[in-house]
Amino acid sequence: MRMSYREALRLALREALQNDARVFLMGEDVGRYGGSYAVSKGLLEEFGPERIRDTPLSELGFVGAGVGAALGGLRPIVEVMTVNFSLLALDQIVNSAALLRHMSGVGGVGQLGSTGGGMGQRAGGQFSVPLVVRMATGAGRQLAAQHSHSLENWYAHIPGIRVLAPATVADARGMLAPALADPDPVVIFEHAQLYNLEDELPDDWRCDIARAAVRRAGAQASVFAYGGCLPKALQAAEELAAQGVEVEVVDLRVLRPLDIDTVAASVRRTHRAVVVDEGWRSGSLAAELIARIVETCFYELDAPPARVCSEEVPIPYAKHLEEAALPQVPKIVAAVKELLNV
């Protein structure tokens, strides 16, 4: 069946709501408007306002309500309109959702250790926070600097949460169910340029949210990408193949914890690595991945790892400048050819 990335996300939401009465969706404009990207269109009429809940414009408030609902035994899916708005809820995600399991000792919250103190002096584990936070991310839509962030690496830095980046129709369909089954919070980044992407939904669309995925086999270099950069990496691989260069394309898709086993296996096959990351170069996820590659595969490398990242500037509004600031297919092709000296 052919469908869009948006439709695949909607199918996953509908299935979750049908299968588990504890599941509900909340966020800005998810109900009557159908979601800022039309992902939840029609769900309010199907499931009612108790389970498709429009919220005020207060990310701190409604993400916190989601944390509380998860602690109370529900399975909330919280939609944050775009990643930049999630900055208003960082305390709820990073300091509450990610850490409450580790702050809830066997004697209860507030259990004192032998030296006194406050919450969480003993080993945690009494509470879990089965919360899913979905948010749009990325640039390329001429929304200028304040609505074009790629902050996946910020969240991938935080222990206590799982970070996912579906880049295919199949993963858009398959990631939500295992995310809801996770007893700990999961943050799902949906690149805004992918919502209109169309592809065939395979019969086996179920997804392992612990593993990266090899999307194209190749022997001369490994190209690692995620989210909105995956289609660019695959297009670059097609152009390189036309020039006689075969590269392997690996979809990272699980950004925390990184699947280093799959990454290392690819590097050991090809002996070269290029990482494509829409985040800025400094402090990027690409930098972390390259560090891991060097730590695990240094003697397998035939050339220094390379990365293609966004330029170190706030994302411009003008279309030609925005395109110049972001990773693009020609930049990926050039990076691979430089590694191969061709």
Active-site residue set: 59, 147
Cβ distance 229 to 327 under 8 Å?
yes
Q: How far is CA 333 from CA 34, 215, 236, 278, 306, in A?
A: 39, 17, 6, 16, 12
- Single out the residue of 44, 46, 37 nearest to residue 79, CA to CA: 37
- Most distant pair of Cα atoms in the chain: their distance: 68
Q: Which DSSP string do the residues of 247-300 spell out, in sequence order?
A: EEEEE--EEETT-HHHHHHHHHHHS-EEEEEEEESTT-HHHHHHHHHHHHHGGG
CA distance 258 to 260: 6
Name the 3-class secondary structure at 33.
Answer: coil
Q: How far is CA 250 from CA 18, 64, 103, 123, 341, in A?
A: 33, 35, 36, 37, 22
CA distance 315 to 312: 9
Q: Per the structure block, which two tokens stand in for 122?
A: 């003993």
For 313, residues 6+ apart whose C-beta sits below 8 A from its C-beta are 325
For 81, residues 6+ apart whose C-beta sits below 8 A from its C-beta are 27, 28, 29, 36, 135, 136
